[in-house]
Each structure stands twice: as structure tokens, then as C-alpha cells.
Structure 1
């Protein structure tokens, strides 16, 4: 069982590694070009270039969660992996991806801050727009992050990014299982029910009130709770995973 679990985790990690390399090469390249453009072309004191490393890793998490179902599960089942082993292996894989992306994103964030300070930049916190701005002479460069709703520290950014990433991995995985198990009709029907509930919630006002209450009182504990919700959703996905059949 241990060998089978290790093999599943290794297979998943190896195959997502290529996507991670491409993803981060593109993201870092865009960041470098953005910073270079800031220093070379921006001559207006009021001009600000904004960059966000967190939103791309959230999107990446949702995509990986969905692709894991159709891309990897059928092959692992054909190779003799049990459903319980798959469930444990994918859970470890998702947690690893969430932690890795959060770790790398916030390390890059800190490195950019450090070198901007060395170049004579000054850090200004803008609480009104929830933007962290580095200013140096005529240049200004901004990072946007949900941590500014709480407190901007490396550990807070890491916890927030890892929590949201794992939550979206679980959501994507659950949605992928629904589509794989019940086809396009079942998948879109599932999405339609969620959209219908959301519309009714907005029309009745309780969903909007919920969003307002959450964002007025948001703190680090909220993101920890979001991670726990992701864990619960992932546990629920086993109900679909254990009934999954390999399509030939």
C-alpha cells in the first residue's frame, strides 16, 4: 500500500512538474518585463504599474484540480491503483501544489521588495485601495494581495495563498469528477443548480449580506476556515471517486 501510494504521488508530481515550469517561466517573464518597463518607460510621477502573483496561482489551482480527473485518474486505475490510494495520493499532491505555489509566489514577492529597496525605492502602504506601492523617484510599482485586508506579512500571504489554492483545487477536482461521472449534461446541470441558487440568493439579499459580512470581518482565521472547507469538499469527493469507472 505504501509503495502504491508513493508511486501515485510520484506520478502526479512528475506530470504536473512540466506544467508548473511553463507556468512559472511565463509568470516570472511577465514580472521581469513589467519591472523593466516600469524603470525604462514610466516617467510620470502619478503612474503606477500593478502586478499580482496570487491570482494566477489561484487560476492554475482550479485548472489542475479539473485536469487531474481526466488526465491522471484513468491511467492510475488501469495500473491497479485502488480508489483509497488514489484519494490519499491526490490529496497529498494537491496540498503539495498549493504549498509550493504559495511558497514560491511570496518568496518572489519578498525578493522584488528587497531589490526595490536596494534601488532606492520607498514602500508606501495604501490602505484605501489595498495596494502595496513601491516608489522610487519617477517610478512606482504595485503588488495587490488579499493580505492587505489583514496584515502584510510573509506568513499571512503564504497562509492565504495556500488556503485559497487548496480550496480551488478541491472545487476543481469535485467539478471534474461530476463531469467525468455524469457527462456534459450532468456537469452543466450541476453548475446550473449552483448558478440558480446564487441568483436566488442575490435576489433575496441573503447572499449579498453574507459577502458583506465576510469582507467586513475578514481576518486570517477566515482563510484558515476556507482551507478547512476545502478539506471537507475534498473528503466529499471520495463519494464520487469510489464509484468512478474507467472509460475505454
Structure 2
């Protein structure tokens, strides 16, 4: 089993390596462009929020994971159970990598802004909207959990699209949206995840981590008898 998991992780990491590098290259080029604009135009006002960009990228990667990796891994002899175990390991590693790289890029960008004395660019962190201290460890933890949530949700939704096609996928999204907007659901989520205090909003990221892990579970009933051919191609 260990050899199968190593082989799968090696394949998936290679498959996503260029996508990962291209995303961060584009983001860093964008930050460089903002820095040049801020240094050339002193009265410019630019707001930068890199955290959501990383989470959107994680969501897209999760959506494509089943379609890009499941058929090949199964054809190469990997069982569906081991595929899911390997996918779980990959999304954990990917979320951690996204968090670490984001922290490095964020701190480097802020260091450049401080060194050059550019005051027209405001770089916001997710921690600024919460009651948590702005430390590097909290930044790593929060971004890792949020990226993991985006990856697991994207993976599960992508699996539905793979198994049942566009109708099943968009139907699932519509159903999730309907459930979330229900007052009772929003009340339960607010009570379980959020806590209002004098210092601001406190988010229980331990609960959010549990939700992220639970969001991975629906993949098993969808994939344990799934074909190696996507629904829309059958």
C-alpha cells in the first residue's frame, strides 16, 4: 500500500507542479506590477488581498482533481480505496504548501513595500478581520484550513461532475446553495463557527477543519463503483 501511495503522490504532484508554479508566478508578477505602479504614482491607492486568490486557486484545483487523476490511477492498477487515501494525503500537503508559499510571498511583498516606503498600497490579511493575533503561526494555520476546505469541497463537487455530468454537478451546487441559505442552517453554522466579542469576530477553525475533513467523505460512495470514463464522455 505504501508503494502505491508514493507512486500516486509522485504522479499527482508532478501533474499539479506546473499549475502551482504558474499560479504563483502570475501572482508575484501582479504584485511586482502593483509595486511599480505604487512607486511611480505617489497618489495611487491600491488594495491587495492575496488570501482569497489562493483559496480560489485551491477550489479550482480541487474541482479538477478527480477528472485529471482518477482515470489514470485506476487504469494503472490503483484501487479506488487507495486512490481516495492518496487524494486525502495530497490535498493535505497541497493546502500546507499553499499556506507556506502564501506566507513567504506576503511577507516578501510587505518587506518590499516598507523598504521602498510605498504607502499607496494596502495589503490586507485575513487575520486583520478576526480577533486572532497577527503571527506567522496563526497565518499558516488559518490559510491551511481555508485552503483545505476549498480543496475538499472542490474535490467532492468535481467528483459529482465526473460521475453524473453537468446536470448532476450543477444540481448538487444548487442543492447546497439552497441548504446553506436556509435560516436554520445559517443559524447552526453561525453558532458553531463564529463567536462575536469585543475584540472582533472569532472563528472556530478547529470546527472548520472538521468540516473540511467531513467534506471529503462523500467521495467514497461516488467513486467506489465509478467508471474510468467521465459521465459526459460515456
TM-score (norm 2): 0.87
Q: Is the 8 A contact 2:196 2:202 kept in 1?
A: no
Alignment counterpart, residue 154 of structure 1, candidates 136, 140, 150 = 136
Runs of 4+ in 1 over 6 A off after TM superposition: none
Q: How does 1:8-47 map to 2 (within 5 A)?
A: 8-41=8-41, 43-44=42-43, 47=44
Counterpart check, 1:230 vs 2:212: yes
Counterpart check, 1:53 vs 2:25: no
Q: Is the 8 A contact 1:159 1:224 kept in 2?
A: no
Pairwise CA distance, 1:105: 0.8
Structure 1 equivalent of residue 109 of structure 2 = 112
Counterpart check, 1:69 vs 2:66: yes
Q: What are the superposed Cα offsets for residues 190-219 of structure 1, whole Å, 9 maximum, x if unpaired?
A: 1222222234x1xx4762785498263543
Alpha-carbon separation, structure 2, partners of 1:170 and 1:81: 21
Alignment counterpart, residue 163 of structure 1, candidates 145, 148, 152 = 145
Alpha-carbon separation, structure 1, partners of 2:31 and 2:112: 14
Alpha-carbon separation, structure 2, partners of 1:197 and 1:14: 37
Alpha-carbon separation, structure 2, partners of 1:224 and 1:48: 36
Pairwise CA distance, 1:181: 1.5
**Computing the radius of gyration over CA atoms, which structure comes out larger, 1 or 2?**
1
Q: How does 1:191-206 map to 2 (within 5 A)?
A: 191-199=173-181, 201=182, 204=183
Counterpart check, 1:207 vs 2:186: yes
Counterpart check, 1:142 vs 2:125: no
Q: Is the 8 A contact 2:4 2:78 kept in 1?
A: yes
Structure 2 equivalent of residue 96 of structure 1 = 93
Pairwise CA distance, 1:22: 0.8
Q: Secondary structure at the match of 1:235?
A: coil
Pairwise CA distance, 1:224: 2.9
Say if 1:49 and 1:77 are closer, same or farther in 2 by CA, change over 3 A: same
Q: Is the 8 A contact 2:35 2:113 kept in 1?
A: no
CA RMSD of aligned residues (A): 2.2
Alpha-carbon separation, structure 2, partners of 1:17 and 1:83: 23
Pairwise CA distance, 1:184: 1.9
Structure 2: gaps (5+ residues):
none
Pairwise CA distance, 1:108: 1.5
